[in-house]
Amino acid sequence: GESVGLHLPTLSVQEGDNSIINCAYSNSASDYFIWYKQESGKGPQFIIDIRSNMDKRQGQRVTVLLNKTVKHLSLQIAATQPGDSAVYFCAEKRGNQFYFGTGTSLTVIP
């Protein structure tokens, strides 16, 4: 069946290093791909999105890469800080609906 947002469940990085969080998807009909951050006990927070016709988009300290050939999405966080510790989800938007992955828990080691 169709799958979306396959994540590695956990990732640990040293403070100051760059983090790369990966996501795989199977449906090519998505309009947007989106990354969210969720801290414990809170709702998800929008980080950055990318249209399906783009390959790369940069934000403040974050970069999203989209490889449609292998159906892979990644979020790069530069100079990771303790405040970046959270669960990160990728999501796809198709029409009016959003489909979320299961998330990667990022732990930043001081």
Partner 1 sequence: DAGITQSPRHKVTETGTPVTLRCHQTENHRYMYWYRQDPGHGLRLIHYSYGVKDTDKGEVSDGYSVSRSKTEDFLLTLESATSSQTSVYFCAISPLAGESEQYFGPGTRLTVT
Q: 84 or 103: whose CB is closer to partner 1?
A: 103
Q: Least Å distance between CB 41 and partner 1?
A: 8
Q: 17 or 39: whose CB is closer to partner 1?
A: 39
36 φ, ψ (degrees, to nearest 5): -125, 155
Number of residues that this document lists for the chain: 110
Binding residues vs partner 1 (CB under 8 A): 5, 31-32, 34, 42-46, 49, 89, 91, 93, 96-103
- Strands 10-14 and 104-109, by their bridges, are parallel
Q: How many CB atoms lie within 10 A of CB 85?
A: 18
Q: Least Å distance between CB 15 and partner 1?
A: 27
